[in-house]
Structure 1
Amino acid sequence: MSAVAEKRAKPGTVIASVSGKWVSYAHTVFAGYAFISALVVGMALHFEKIVRNEYYGFPDEWFPSVSAAIGDRYPERSIFQLFIAVTAGPRFALVFLTYLLYNKPGSWGPRAHVAVGLLRTLTCGGWVYITSTDDHDWHDIFMIAYMLLTLPWTVGGILLSRPGSKALKYRKIFGISFFVMIVPLVYYFIQHKVNHVAGAYTIYAFFEWSLIFFDVAFDAATAFDFGALEIRVVDMNGITNGAVPSSSSSSSRGVELRVKDTGLLTGFSFGTLFTFAVDVYNSFVFWSVLTSLGLLIWYFPLWYMGISGYEVTLLSTISPFLLGLPFLTPLFARFPQLSQLGTVVGIAAYLVPGPSDRLLTVSAACMFASISLAMQFHNVTARPFLSLTKATAFSIGFIGSVLAKFAFYANNPIWPIMHDANGGWNKSGLVVGVVAALLTTRPQRGSSEAVSASKRGSFIFASCGLAGLLFSMHSLLSDSSTMIYWVWDGYPLTGPLPVPYGAVTILAMVVGAYVGVTGKSSTLASWPAFAVGSAGAFVLYKFDGWFGYFGGLVLATYLIAIVPVLFESASIHPAGRTFGVGFLLYDLIVLGHVWVVAYAFVPGGPLLRERTDILVTVSMAMIGLGVYGAKKAQAVTSSSTGVFAPGKKTKSVSFFKVRAMAAIFLTAISVLTVVVAWRRTDKPAPQPYHPEEKLMTVGIWTIHFGLDNDMWASEVRMRDAIAELELDVVGLLESDTQRIIMGNRDVTQQIAEDLGMYVDFGPGPNRHTWGAALLSKFPIVKSTHHLLPSPVGELAPAIHATLDVYGEMIDVVVFHSGQEEDVEDRRLQTAGVSEIMAKSENPTILLSYLVTKPLEGNYNTYVSEYTGMSDIDPSDWDRWCEYILYKKIKRVAYARVSRGTITDTEIQTGKFVVGVEPASTNERVPEEQVAEGLRYPAVFRGDGVRGHRYHVFDEPRYYA
């Protein structure tokens, strides 16, 4: 008993205390999370449902109102209500503390203000928990009451604020912004409700969401005042056991809190969060613009079949050299918004109709993007940890761009090849991009001589490190499926699929970004760490399947982890020449990245023919030089600037701020990644179109790398054509877009997922072909990838797959022959494919690009007694490239369908029936004699649909 008594606190002991600002923080976080989580979940699960209103749906309307996002659907409604309920406690505390802070004897203003605050909080609960779906009238009554009470709450808060305080400054900004937004809100609501204007409700929704933001932000300003208050729990009668006395106030511990690590959110502030968010989005824009440049350049050599001249726009990235002009560096240093607004022009490029003009617009944006990146690290040595902040935001923006592509089927939604018709979010990206550009902060002022010129050493090492890092990130990590296709080896599966394992690639980068913040620079910039990254690159290049992929994950983690190290190293040198040389070297490696596969069309191509190993080695060697430069930088800066000082991060509040921001953003990215992966894997099993007839409809299409004739991404239009043709199996040629110059895309993902098909991507990007892919409604039992002999010209890829078609094993071969000029190559390739078909004992179908005339030359090797293959229609004299051959299976129909403006090659299709004794006759029969389930769709007759129609014969052909 006595022992217990000794542990009791003394009467009046303070057993807990907390700064009043945490009330403001808690209110802001919970309220913000309630709305944002409901919006994200709603967009992920019920996008088209919550953007639909009584007049229009997607794509006319493409962003939901607040009410639709928080109140119409489960689970987002429940998530919102849960967190808004949690917000109630901090909300009442906020109102009460505001009253205590401003109350004066005999003053009625604070009393009226607290009464309005309490009533406003109750009306908020009314429209939150009575949704428009539950009772539209009462929902609106509470909402209108809440809006009306917002006026005296806002005005009262401004009038009661201490003159000259930060709280007053931000209350004025957010309060005025709130009421200004009501004007366009009402206007667009009238446009929607009265004039029925398409898209008006989406614009209205943006203004409605801005009201939410400004409303929450207005109350967040209390953090500036509440920091002077302290909430204490006092044991008045000494009834608590074992309490640790706390006699000192928070104000007396202020210095200690700035250096003491109390958790991941140590150093967190909403101002820092907002500034960091701007930097992250600016990085997202940078990577979106940079990755789109090569993709737009690629359009032109596709049509020229060689060097077009537009390739010179790649050099737009060396624009940091212009910072050598004496007036430009001060200009961009004083007004960083200029270069960032110039970068955002790359998002607006989708508004430019002509392909060449669009490319020139993006190249101009890349000039500004490179300058903007260089200026972010100009003079940052004057402020320790600023470079760490900028570099971390750069990494997170990059990961965000990869996540965006993962969510949008390997296309960045704000690329200039995207627009409303193919799923682009260009308008949203442009609006947010302009706002972020205008809010870009001015670089820290300071002397560039923080490290004397004599001690900096050569900037070349830093430039090499930047070049190797940017190239490796761009070529391997800018899409979550790229490394997976490097190790792809067909069926049965011996490695990862892009979905869901693309999420694992993103999470590896998340880990790398966090290590880059928390790890010691001396450890990251070490040779053992470089050896681990290099080993990962070697394993990725050398091995297929899971083992190769694990090497890729190690490399991904390492590359993102060393971003701060290499950028901090670059920051001690003049930005113009360091980043200028860095981007010049980057451009040279990018050209090599093109040369390894395009060797047949470029001068000096054979020197790098199929030498991806050289590119990997060179890029890692450049990173190694960057590591060497970073180690040198550590030696000369650890004492003068503190940028690289060992252990510095564990003692500085600046480090804690960066870590807190990184933790918040990386956690959000991780959650979104898992949500996207789950959503994309939650699909029904593929089903053929006509199982009752045991029909197998096949097609072959050369898709021109997924860019249509007007330079738009063509996956959506391709998907629709394939669906309307009811193709169960389709071979796609010129389909490997997993390169910098092609955007690191995967044109099969959206088609396969939307239509419910299995995919074999074919030989991966490290196999140096233009690509061959197979999509099938039937399970792919096994597949083998072939690279046919090509001693002179381009490599010829082939896929030999066995499908389970209604219980029968059917072999399908997808093949792309070499160019017309290389006669010997095509002869050897013909012999190789013929051997594959001859050895196949199953019924076999060839979907191919042969480069031969019917009944002539190599045709007679493909169609021969040796192969056993027959031409689907020997009388079709108009073919040159595409052919469908078959054996041991009943052919019932053949058709050619025009390409529209999607590509330069038509679609050829055939219909086969499984389980029926095959006939060898080429006798044609009228369509009326063919069962309706075996016929081609009538939609393509006459003028067809969207430019697709039956042509050459003007109708399908049917056979007995």
Structure 2
Amino acid sequence: MAPKFKDGDVVGTLNGKWISYAHTLVAYCAFLGALIVGVSLHYHKIVQNEFYGYPEEWFPSVSSTIGDRYPERSVFMVFIAITSGPRFALVALWYILTRRPNSTLPKFVAGVGVFRTLTCGGWTYVTSTDDHDWHDIFMISYLVATLPWTLGVLALSPRNPTAVKYRKIFAGAFFGTLVPLIYFFIQHKVHHVAGAYTIYSFFEWSLVLLDVAFDAVTAIEFANFEIVVKDLRGITRGAGKNAVADAVLEKEKEKEVGQVFAKGFTWSGLLDAVADVYNGFAFWSMLTALGLCVWYFPLWHMGISGYEVMVMSTVSPFLLSIKSLRFLVVRNIRIVHLMSLSGLLSFLAKSPENRLFSAGFGVWMACLAWSATFYAERSQPHRLEARISAFSIGLVASSIAKFAFWTNNPVWPIMHAPNGGWNKLGLALATLAILRSTRSTASSGADIPAPGPTKGSAALTGLGLAGLFFAMHSLLSDSSTMILWVWEGYPVRGPLAVPHGAWTLIAMGLGLVTGLFSPTFARSWAFYGVGSIGAAVLTTSSHWFGYYGGLALTIYVMALAPPLIAHGARHSPAKTFGLGFLIYNILVLAHVWVVAYAFVPGGPLMREHTDWVMTAMMLCIGCGVFSMTGQPKSTTIQKYKGKPNPAASKLRSYYLYVLFGLELLAVAIAYLRFPSYNYTPYHPEEKSVTAGIWTIHFSLDNDMWSSEHRMRDVIQELELDVVGLLESDLQRIIMGNRDTTQFLAEDLGMYVDFGPGPNKHTWGSALLSKFPIVNSTHHLLPSPVGELAPAIHATLDMYGKMVDVFVFHSGQEEDPEDRRLQSEYLAKLMKETPRPAILLSYLVTKPGEGNYNTYVGEKSGMRDVDPSDWDRWCEYILYKGLRRTGYARVSRSTITDTEIQAAKFVVGQPEGGNDLIGEDQVPPGLRFPALFRGQGVRGHAYHVFNEPRYFA
């Protein structure tokens, strides 16, 4: 029989609150059921962790409870599967409750809700034992998505005081719990504190309970919902026809299906923003690579090579002073952008010279293209804002790429497939991004002026842009740069590159958002004062206090970018961007001169004056702020009929979506890269220590490829437990703002001390160790004339015995007085330590002559690892208080210009003599690897003696 009503008969109803109740009940059953079963059956096993068990640890973590043991794992899986039904229904009901016409936020929050549900299933059914990487990926994705879900639900909450109150309580408790959670996790994982994991577990369980409780609040709003089941064809034969009043049926009929999907969001608009940002990423990738390619040549020439002139590739915007050429560039902006991709294509050039020229041409065209783009968009402020946002977020993306790839950008010309490069993919995406993002500009070549009067000085604005670009490049193009500025050794008293590099990236995003929404504040003198104080604190202070100054400067610099670049676009691009990049180049050279003073003309004037460079940077920025003060207040979001232009607001929102996604990616990378600190020496059964010294020539090999992967391979194959690296400070524009030690330490499973930071004006010394670094002190040895000599004095816990390790780089041959003073300083340092010690060094002396007798003998208390090795000049290994059993010299291949020297020691035994013995008399655990005998492997072989030497 046909239904009585056109839309069908109502045969059943369900109050919406029961969806929330079911979700809450079943979710708690999943976790608490697994906890009860686990404690009942496997208590001692699930409280055991990698360091301690019962009674030090007495409460299990969530992961150990719901993990791999039967039957608690099955209990959890069954209930969490049942939870998925109410969970999807909860997300759907929340979307129906909060949807609004022309609003994208409800859709976004609903999408995040579905994503969280799917990723929950991922980490539930793929355990760490099944596949550790995918388990972590699903888990991290779930946790990262919790932030936008929580904030989105709070933002969309209807005006119900009770519901809002409980949501704020649960959300505040959830995020507040993260702080002690992370603290006790570090206490457990890094400091191995007994009982810390139990406390951590309580906070972990609290997060679970609070997460579910936050969603349980929806029961308050859902109580006003009625879920109705209709029979459209009479298949129930009329059952339940009177279950719902006619008024309810009428209300159902009045709902408009068309309101389900708002028109405020388009995937096309988001794709445009992504393409635009990737175009900005390509620009910053090429600009940051140029210095690296230039640096290769003076590095191998040991002085000015002539190729340094390529740093001027950025001054191409001066060409825009020619009206006909400016018209041509703006009309053909897509072609100019495409030509700039020679910078990404340069990795195909085999010779370093051709690679440099290709990279330089790419930067020349990129600076021209972006300056012309800003100028062309000046007549439509919201479009100009979008380009500036893409330019700035491109820097964030570039920094995140380096964060993910251990401070190397995977599309740089020093990268290729053998060392982890993604050049082909990066080039293909850049081509597509340019084709998408350059389909049109606001101006088709005509000089359409910006709305309103243009005030201020073009020259002063150019100076401001110079300071801005230099600050962005020198401090923000890598997330670890400012962290290494404030690093002072062990114990840790400040931020670490991982995970705190994510803080720098978040501060960059926060600063940009500040500049977009409060441009008047961003260009104010008050905010300039905050930035100046931050720069001063970063330059003069260490540890957390210095880093907080750096974060303040980060927020200021990124906030200044939108108003200052927009102001620069109002003037002649040649006068603002051309002059800006010219002065930027001078600042770049100045910040290299402060450490390279011994090799450049006029260098002593800039010796150790990073403070001068930072002051000049802030003064240049101040010039830009002064120029903007005369400009009338304006807004980049134009008004439409007295209200904010919805098109302009929507355009801004797409870039904010991209920025938010990148920030979530940064947090995920920080989690994935967090070290395990579960490091083991190669031969603990012998209490053996293999120590090495290597001068790595700034991680650029003879063919201008980044050499970290090749270094990793030989260090691992040589089984070095402790290695000193010299010429290792790469945290400058000209060296790419890199840190080789991050990749080596994480991949080899070693502790790392970077040594004196970039603001200490040395070429760098670093220490990698399989043994915990209990304490370390950084020294700058007397250097009245020549380059500064860095040293690390570290105390290592070797098999329960404290052993001192010194890593030292002496001054150059041209400065004999420097080297004499340095030898006396270091000899005194080594003599005063009562512990066994090893020196891994670069001494610049001949065995048995001159300063050698200060380093070796009574003055220092140290012995030479092999007094009979007369063929040395730079690298030496000295020791005391340990038994030295072997010594070897390994050729470098084409990685650097210096060999590897390595020595084997045994902890807890007397020193022994200098008598040589055969390898057959040495226990296998104290022998050097046979891999390097004869022709060796990949160009690495025992040389000089053609085999290792062993001592009785």
Q: Which residue of 2 aligns with 1:90?
A: none
User: Residues 23 and 813 (structure 1 numbering): CA distance in 2 closer, same or farther, change over 3 Å?
Assistant: closer
User: Residues 832 and 281 (structure 1 numbering): CA distance in 2 closer, same or farther, change over 3 Å?
Assistant: same
Mapping of residues 376-391 of structure 1, within 5 Å? 376-391=373-388
Choose from 937, 943, 947 the match for 1:951: 943
Q: Which amino acid aligns with 2:760?
A: R
Q: Which amino acid aligns with 1:572?
A: R
User: Residues 75 and 534 (structure 1 numbering): CA distance in 2 closer, same or farther, change over 3 Å?
Assistant: closer
Choose from 703, 716, 726 the match for 2:719: 726
| C-alpha contact (below 8 Å) 2:273/2:658 kept by paired residues | no
Cα deviation for residue 866 of structure 1 reads 1.8
Matched, 1:631 2:629: yes
Cα deviation for residue 355 of structure 1 reads 0.3
Cα deviation for residue 489 of structure 1 reads 0.3
| Separation of aligned partners in 1, 2:643 and 2:501 | 34
Mapping of residues 513-912 of structure 1, within 5 Å? 513-519=512-518, 521-634=519-632, 638=634, 643=636, 651-912=644-905
| Structure 1 runs not aligned, ≥5 long | 1-14, 51-68, 84-234, 258-265
Mapping of residues 241-320 of structure 1, within 5 Å? 268-320=265-317
Cα deviation for residue 75 of structure 1 reads 6.3
Q: Which residue of 1 aligns with 2:510?
A: 511
Structure 2 counterpart SS, 1:353: coil
Which one is further off, 541-550 or 19-28? 19-28
Choose from 393, 417, 422 the match for 1:420: 417
| C-alpha contact (below 8 Å) 2:461/2:627 kept by paired residues | yes
Structure 2 counterpart SS, 1:597: helix
| Separation of aligned partners in 2, 1:647 and 1:547 | 46
| C-alpha contact (below 8 Å) 1:517/1:658 kept by paired residues | no
Q: Which amino acid aligns with 1:928?
A: D
Q: Which residue of 2 aligns with 1:403?
A: 400
| Separation of aligned partners in 2, 1:616 and 1:79 | 39
Choose from 361, 368, 383 the match for 1:371: 368
| Separation of aligned partners in 2, 1:515 and 1:648 | 26
Q: Which residue of 1 aligns with 2:170?
A: none
Q: Which amino acid aligns with 1:657?
A: K
| Separation of aligned partners in 1, 2:105 and 2:623 | 48
| Separation of aligned partners in 2, 1:444 and 1:802 | 62
Mapping of residues 82-101 of structure 1, within 5 Å? none
| C-alpha contact (below 8 Å) 1:475/1:739 kept by paired residues | yes
User: Residues 389 and 420 (structure 1 numbering): CA distance in 2 closer, same or farther, change over 3 Å?
Assistant: same
Cα deviation for residue 277 of structure 1 reads 1.2
User: Residues 27 and 385 (structure 1 numbering): CA distance in 2 closer, same or farther, change over 3 Å?
Assistant: closer
Cα deviation for residue 504 of structure 1 reads 1.1
Q: Which residue of 1 aligns with 2:319?
A: 322
User: Residues 330 and 741 (structure 1 numbering): CA distance in 2 closer, same or farther, change over 3 Å?
Assistant: same
TM-score, structure 1 as length reference: 0.74
| C-alpha contact (below 8 Å) 1:514/1:662 kept by paired residues | no
Cα deviation for residue 436 of structure 1 reads 1.1
Structure 2 counterpart SS, 1:701: strand
**After superposition, what is the alpha-carbon deviation per residue over 1:361-420, rounded to whole angstroms, capped at 9, x for unaligned?**
000000011011101211323112222111111111110100000000000010000011
Matched, 1:932 2:924: yes
User: Residues 46 and 537 (structure 1 numbering): CA distance in 2 closer, same or farther, change over 3 Å?
Assistant: farther
Cα deviation for residue 605 of structure 1 reads 0.3
User: Residues 18 and 650 (structure 1 numbering): CA distance in 2 closer, same or farther, change over 3 Å?
Assistant: same
User: Residues 272 and 28 (structure 1 numbering): CA distance in 2 closer, same or farther, change over 3 Å?
Assistant: farther
User: Residues 738 and 632 (structure 1 numbering): CA distance in 2 closer, same or farther, change over 3 Å?
Assistant: same
Q: Which residue of 2 aligns with 1:53?
A: none
| C-alpha contact (below 8 Å) 1:468/1:620 kept by paired residues | yes
Q: Which residue of 2 aligns with 1:432?
A: 429
Structure 2 counterpart SS, 1:785: strand
User: Residues 292 and 658 (structure 1 numbering): CA distance in 2 closer, same or farther, change over 3 Å?
Assistant: same
Structure 2 counterpart SS, 1:634: coil
| Separation of aligned partners in 2, 1:378 and 1:876 | 66
Q: Which residue of 2 aligns with 1:190?
A: none
Q: Which residue of 2 aligns with 1:502?
A: 501
Cα deviation for residue 683 of structure 1 reads 2.8
User: Residues 926 and 787 (structure 1 numbering): CA distance in 2 closer, same or farther, change over 3 Å?
Assistant: same
| C-alpha contact (below 8 Å) 1:769/1:797 kept by paired residues | yes
| C-alpha contact (below 8 Å) 1:378/1:443 kept by paired residues | no
Residue identity (%): 52
Q: Which residue of 1 aligns with 2:449?
A: 450
Cα deviation for residue 344 of structure 1 reads 1.5
Structure 1 counterpart SS, 2:323: coil
User: Residues 29 and 280 (structure 1 numbering): CA distance in 2 closer, same or farther, change over 3 Å?
Assistant: farther
| Structure 2 runs not aligned, ≥5 long | 1-95, 146-243
User: Residues 767 and 74 (structure 1 numbering): CA distance in 2 closer, same or farther, change over 3 Å?
Assistant: closer
Q: Which amino acid aligns with 1:843?
A: P
Cα deviation for residue 626 of structure 1 reads 1.0
| Separation of aligned partners in 1, 2:629 and 2:621 | 12
Cα deviation for residue 458 of structure 1 reads 2.0
| C-alpha contact (below 8 Å) 1:320/1:374 kept by paired residues | yes
Mapping of residues 2-401 of structure 1, within 5 Å? 237-239=246-248, 268-401=265-398
Cα deviation for residue 903 of structure 1 reads 0.1
| Separation of aligned partners in 2, 1:452 and 1:20 | 32
Which one is further off, 437-446 or 577-586? 437-446
Structure 2 counterpart SS, 1:601: coil
Cα deviation for residue 576 of structure 1 reads 2.8
| Separation of aligned partners in 1, 2:494 and 2:671 | 19
| C-alpha contact (below 8 Å) 1:381/1:448 kept by paired residues | no
Structure 2 counterpart SS, 1:570: helix
| C-alpha contact (below 8 Å) 1:845/1:884 kept by paired residues | yes
**After superposition, what is the alpha-carbon deviation per residue over 1:53-106, rounded to whole angstroms, capped at 9, x for unaligned?**
xxxxxxxxxxxxxxxx9xx989669989xx9xxxxxxxxxxxxxxxxxxxxxxx
Cα deviation for residue 685 of structure 1 reads 1.1
Cα deviation for residue 619 of structure 1 reads 0.5
| Separation of aligned partners in 2, 1:896 and 1:622 | 51
User: Residues 598 and 286 (structure 1 numbering): CA distance in 2 closer, same or farther, change over 3 Å?
Assistant: same
Cα deviation for residue 550 of structure 1 reads 0.7
Cα deviation for residue 453 of structure 1 reads 11
TM-score, structure 2 as length reference: 0.74
User: Residues 551 and 31 (structure 1 numbering): CA distance in 2 closer, same or farther, change over 3 Å?
Assistant: closer
| Separation of aligned partners in 2, 1:23 and 1:588 | 46
Q: Which residue of 2 aligns with 1:472?
A: 471
| Separation of aligned partners in 1, 2:510 and 2:316 | 32
**After superposition, what is the alpha-carbon deviation per residue over 1:827-858, rounded to whole angstroms, capped at 9, x for unaligned?**
11111111111111110110000000111110
User: Residues 726 and 563 (structure 1 numbering): CA distance in 2 closer, same or farther, change over 3 Å?
Assistant: same
| C-alpha contact (below 8 Å) 2:843/2:875 kept by paired residues | yes
Cα deviation for residue 644 of structure 1 reads 8.7
| Separation of aligned partners in 1, 2:630 and 2:319 | 27
Cα deviation for residue 27 of structure 1 reads 11
| Separation of aligned partners in 1, 2:114 and 2:623 | 44
Structure 2 counterpart SS, 1:385: helix
